[in-house]
Amino acid sequence: IGASELLLIVVVAIVVIGPKDLPRAMRLAGQWIAKARRLSNHFRSGIETMIREAELEEMEKTWREQRLYNFFLNIFQLFWLWLEILLLRDI
* pLDDT tens, residue by residue, 28-83: 988 999 999 999 999 999 999 999 888 888 888 888 889 888 898 999 999 988 88
Whole-number pLDDT of residue 91? 61
Average pLDDT over residues 17-22: 85
Contact by Cβ (8 Å): 25, 13: yes
C-alpha distance from residue 84 to each of 29, 71, 75, 88 (Å)? 82, 20, 14, 6
H helix runs in the chain, sequence order: 3-17, 22-90
pLDDT, greater one: 91 or 9? 9
Angle formed at CA 25 by CA 20 and CA 31, multiple of 5 degrees: 150
Integer CA distances (angstroms), 38 to 11, 19, 33, 34, in order: 29, 29, 9, 6
pTM for the full model?
A: 0.51
Whether 25 and 17 have beta carbons less than 8 Å apart is answered as yes
